[in-house]
Structure 1
Amino acid sequence: MACIVLSWPGEMDADCKRWQARSVKWLQDTYGDQLKTVIRHDDEAFPHLHAFIVPDDLKAISLHPGDSAKQKAKADGLSPKEQNEAYKQSFRDWQDSYWDKVGKPSGLTRIGPGRRRLTRDQWNQEKQQAKALAIALADGRAVAKRVDAAKAKAEKFEKA
């Protein structure tokens, strides 16, 4: 069995609940029937989810995207350096998938401030931009729904 922990960097509020729903959907899409349960904990500074996954072969390492890519690269006869690159790239792709489906629509940034040596002002500005992007994406989806509804109404009117 493997456990993945996903953490929300704030209080339990409406945004957190939307993040939670997106996270569970991403886990279901990524792991399918192997995902057994997701539990939310509010026992620490930030709400977080524990996802428990049981792989079909009962070997937790088989769920690690980097390890799977490295084993495939090894089987394909690639050099150890290429195997390690496959490992890193696969894991980055897995993280990017989570950010694209969950983080970005939730107004979260992809990489924290410390690794990139951002000042507090730069980090706060980046967080504000991420929230603005999430709002713009949500607004775009709302507009698309209204356009689709208007088109359906127009088609219905034309038929009548």
Structure 2
Amino acid sequence: MARFQFSHIETYARTASTLSKSSSVKTCYDILAEASRVYEHSRHVMSPSPPELLDGITTQELAENLNLLLENEATEVVLGGKAKKRAVRKDAHVLLAAVYSYPSQSQMCDLDEIRPFFMDCIEFHREKFGSVQSAVLHTDEQYLHIHVYTVSNNARKLHPGHIAKKLNKSEASSIKSSVAYKNAMRAFQDDFHQSVSHKYGLERIGPMRKRIQSELYQIAKQAKASELAEWFENETIKKKKKLQEKTERLKQFYDEKRFEIESEYEQFKETNDVSLQELQEKTQLAETEYEDLMNQRELIFDILIKNQELISENENYKKRLHEYEEDYGPR
């Protein structure tokens, strides 16, 4: 079965441009948060797991240090005869993000065998776009893939499509620049295939979707919707049946456990020859014996105290006798 390469590059700014007409434009921080598997940005992943760092710093560290990295990218300008550094605009595209995927199911892959492919992808990215600030591997989606990030004060100057589009920009028509963009991206895909993919037996171009007339498309779309509705109904019936079966099993289990507990309780009542009254009498007797012991304990304490007093008194008598003998005894 043929396997096809997949690579994609895009650029992002720290904040969305005020000229943007879309309200869903993603920023650098959105992209890096998704790569870091921050919950709010990775809800499309069924069971998110932390990415594996392959190169550079983590995506979280890159997000935290993005402004600091861009300070080194500030351009020098001369104003009033003095050289000053011009900070990079907040809405300038400063992050080039690339995705390189391996066309095999994540659960069926031996990561150690595929790892060289991803390391070659990182080297290809480095040769193509310069430094690599971060590269991370995701194993929690359908296909294994890596995200590679490069920071620049103008990331679009690194993007081959935007470079070609700018060189062919025309006020009269945007068709020429659009064609130039597509051709440049095709060349990028060719380069990636020649440099990396072909060494791992991956095809350059994937299966093309058949183009059909709009009327046929609508018919096909309705048929697909009908097929999907029928599948959904069947699945609902299956799940409902499974739920009923599970409910019956739980009810049966509950009844069996209830009968078992009631039987054990009845057996305990029959075999236990100590009545409640006998237990109460024994408890009362034990309390009485305890009170007697406490009283005896108090008597013993009193005797010990009196004995100590007698010992002290005896010592005083001995002392006085000794003093008397010294004063009035034979000389």
Query: Is the TM-score greater than 0.5?
Result: yes
Question: 1:106 Cα deviation (Å)?
Answer: 1.1
> In 2, distance between residues paired with 1:95 and 1:17?
21
In structure 2, the residue matched to 1:95 is 189
Q: Is 2:146 aligned against 1:23?
A: no
Q: Percent identity?
A: 30
Distance 1:50 1:84, change over 3 A: same
Alpha-carbon separation, structure 1, partners of 2:175 and 2:208: 27
Matched, 1:9 2:103: yes
- 1:49 is matched with 146
Please, what is the CA RMSD of the aligned residues?
2.4
Q: Any gaps of 5 or more consecutive residues in structure 1?
A: 118-160
Q: In structure 2, do the counterparts of structure 1 residues 44 and 85 end up closer, same or farther at CA, with 3 Å as the change threshold?
A: same
Query: Shift of the alpha carbon at 1:116?
Result: 6.8
Conserved 8 A contact 2:165-2:180 = yes
Alignment of 1:71 with 2:166, yes or no, is: yes
- Spell out, residue by residue over 1:65-105, the C-alpha distance to the aligned partner (whole angstroms, 9 max, x if none): 11111101227x89533322211111111111111111111
User: In the aligned structure 1, how far is the partner of 2:185 from the partner of 2:172?
Assistant: 18
Following TM superposition, by how much is the alpha carbon of 1:50 offset from its aligned partner in structure 2, in angstroms?
Answer: 0.6
Aligned length: 113
Q: Segments of 4+ in structure 1 off by > 6 A? A: none
Provide closer, same or farther for how the CA distance between residues 116 and 110 of structure 1 changes in structure 2, counting only shifts above 3 A: farther
The TM-score, its normalising length taken from structure 1, stands at 0.61
TM-score by length of 2: 0.31
Which amino acid in structure 1 is aligned with residue 198 of structure 2?
Answer: K
Q: As a proportion of its length, which structure holds more helix?
A: 1
In structure 2, the CA distance between the partners of 1:53 and 1:67, relative to structure 1 (3 Å rule), is same
Rg larger for: 2
Of 166, 177, 201, the match for 1:107 = 201
Q: Secondary structure at the match of 1:113?
A: coil
Q: Secondary structure at the match of 1:105?
A: helix
Indicate whether 1:61 and 2:159 are aligned: no
Comparing 4-13 and 22-31, the one that deviates more: 4-13
Contact 2:96 2:159 in 1 (8 A): no
> Quick one: which amino acid aligns to residue 16 of structure 1?
I
Contact 1:74–1:80 at 8 Å: present in 2 too? yes
